[in-house]
Amino acid sequence: MAPYLYPPLAAPIPTVVVHLSHPRAHRRLPIPFAIALIGLIVVGAWVFLPTLRAGFVYEDIRWLRSAGWIAWRPRVLMSLSWWLQAHLSPAPWAFHAVNVGLHAINAIYVGLLARGLRLGTVGVLTAAGWFALTPMSVEAVAY
C-alpha cells in the first residue's frame, strides 16, 4: 500500500537559476530576494543620477581627443571604453550613465559574492547596499 502524501503546507517559493562558473554548479536565487537585491541596486543608481547633468572635468577633453591611441596607454580597457563611448555618443551624460550602470552591475556582483560567502539575506542586502550607496571613491562613479 502506497503511503498517503499530504499536500504541502505552503506553496514553494519560485526561484531563478543563477549559473556561476560551471553550468552544473548553480544556485537558486529566490525571486523575492532577487527583487529586493535589484530594488536596492536601483536605489543605489538613483542616488548617482544627478551626475548625468555634469559635464567633463579636468583632462577629460584631452583624453577624448587622443582616444584613438589605445595601445600607448597603461589603461587599455579604459581607453577602449572611452574610444567606444566617444564614437557612439560624445555627450558627457552618456559617459556618466555608463559609470553609474557599471557601478550598479558591480553592486549586484558584490551581493552575489556575499551570497556565495553565505552571509544570509540581511548580510547580502547590507553588503550590496553599502557598496551601492557608499562607494570607496565617489569619483569612480560620478566622474
pLDDT per residue as tens digits for the range 56-90:
887 777 766 665 555 555 667 777 777 788 788 88
Of 96, 133, 125, which Cα lies nearest the Cα of 38? 125
Whether the pLDDT of residue 18 is over 60: the answer is no
**pLDDT band of 21, cuts 50, 70, 90:** low
- Helix-then-strand count for the chain, H and E: 6, 2
